[in-house]
Structure 1
Amino acid sequence: MTEEPLTIVTTVADGVARIEWPAYVPASVVRREVAAALTAHARVEVLLDPRDETAQRVAAWAGMQREGTMRGVTVSGEPQDRLVYARLASDVPLEDPQSFRSLLNSFLPRKRAIGQMLVRDDQDRVLLCQLTYKKDWDLPGGVVELNESPRLAVSRELEEELGVEIPAGELLLTDWLPPWSGWDDAVCLVFDGGVQPADLAAELVLQPNEIRAAEFKTMAEVRELAADFTARRIESALARAHGRGAPYTESGRAHPEA
């Protein structure tokens, strides 16, 4: 009688092995088999059902980092999503504390950060940008890159898209943006760009792929040109610039208890 193997390791590409295991197999066995496979491969990976939390824990304790989601994998004739976990021969040894931190970092939640700047003129109008990729106007700024300071990110965005150097001042507002129209949720940080000369808008050098126009607008004009949640965020940030209002909002709205 042939004993059923506890794990199945298959070479799927040059230097790449794919491992599978039944639900009853403990993490210690998978960890041992992954280590053995790495003696002959540079990479060992596994594709897991997103609903199978037990298998995900086993993969993590076996030292495999979560890399993302492979969409539309054919399983039993049907397209299904699969989580990709993998360990490389070059990864830090499991007994090193950095390895544990890297494992956690691979699957703990990550939230997108957006940096924006509130720039005003002496009439308390707000610098607003007409973007090429959506109809609504918005504050200048953009997505914070991986491992980039949000404060530096917003100044970088202004320099790249408007050709102006304005150091980011005080953090005026933290605004949480719920999931919307294909986007995951995000946190928007609005920094103070201070009061600038009214003729600044005429001197801006616009990045044509991103910005159609940039002009100082009154709050009444902001409400006409911007999405409602953007207008609420700008109004909240403007209030903060004048020492009023809450420092934290959700979709531009302060918490009722704030």
Structure 2
Amino acid sequence: MADPITVTTVADGVARIQWQGEPTTDALRQAVAGALTAHTRVEALVGIDDRSAQRAATWAGLLKEGVTRGVTVDGAVTDRVVYARVRDDQPVDQPEGFRSLLNSFLPRKRAISQMLVRDPDGRVLLCQLTYKRDWDLPGGVVEVGESPRLAVQREVEEELGLDLEPGVLVLTDWLPAWSGWDDAVCLVFDGGTHPPSVLARVVMQEREIRDVRFCTLEEVDELAADFTARRVRAAVSGARPYTESGR
């Protein structure tokens, strides 16, 4: 009976492992280990909907790297999940190696940090962005390894030239997947109350910010997307610490 696991050299130092059916975890692990004695990297391309093969790749110690799109397999253009292991990866029977394995496939959530800045009349600071029609609170995406609190301070300084200390977290708003975006969690921090004269200190990042001003809640409803307006109102009211799309 032919071995259902095959290992093929596809580039200098790179092996590709394939299997038929459901080989045992031990057999796959041995094949991966054997391939790494002669290669620096071993990889597997697994079907998007083939959960069984994805589990097999994971428990064989291959880390999920992402999705390669538009590859031709058996004459058909399709997408494949890429799993791989390199020779220097920590063994999966060691704590660090096992954590890296889990980290490669467990869900990750995009985080956005925004700042609620108000004037003495209760108006809210909004930014008109260059890349969309709707106005929004100042802030942006949290970088990998960055704290949300530091992220919003950095974004406000980069976009508006204002050094504002973030205060308490006033709202956590979950945003469902929408128009090509994955879902995300938006954290709104209190930016304090400042006189309208603070606008004179604004230095807009021209690539991202077209205008900035204090707006009444009625103006927020007119200028912002509906879910942003709901988020602003929820943050201002402080009645709920958690919302979903502002609700």
- TM-score bracket, normalised by the shorter chain, equals over 0.9
Aligned to 2:243: 249
The TM-score with structure 2 as length reference comes to 0.98
State the shift of 1:202 in Å.
2.3
Alignment of 1:1-258 (within 5 A): 3-240=1-238, 245-253=239-247
Question: What is the distance in 1 between the residues matched to 2:92 and 2:173?
Answer: 38
Question: What is the distance in 2 between the residues matched to 1:21 and 1:94?
Answer: 21
Counterpart of 1:249, as a letter, is: T
The TM-score with structure 1 as length reference comes to 0.94
Question: What is the distance in 1 between the residues matched to 2:200 and 2:11?
Answer: 57
Moved beyond 6 Å, runs of 4+ = none
2:160/2:204 contact within 8 Å kept = yes
Helix, strand or coil at the partner of 2:155:
helix
State the shift of 1:55 in Å.
1.0
Q: How many residue pairs were aligned?
A: 247
Counterpart of 1:122, as a letter, is: P
Question: What is the distance in 2 between the residues matched to 1:34 and 1:6?
Answer: 14
State the shift of 1:53 in Å.
1.1
Aligned to 1:256: none
Question: What is the distance in 2 between the residues matched to 1:23 and 1:154?
Answer: 49
Per-residue CA distance 1:115-167 (angstroms, 9 max, x = gap): 00000011111010000100000000000001110011000000111111111
**What stretches of structure 2 of length at least 5 have no aligned partner?**
none
State the shift of 1:95 in Å.
2.0
Question: What is the distance in 1 between the residues matched to 2:53 and 2:61?
Answer: 13
Question: What is the distance in 2 between the residues matched to 1:29 and 1:19?
Answer: 12
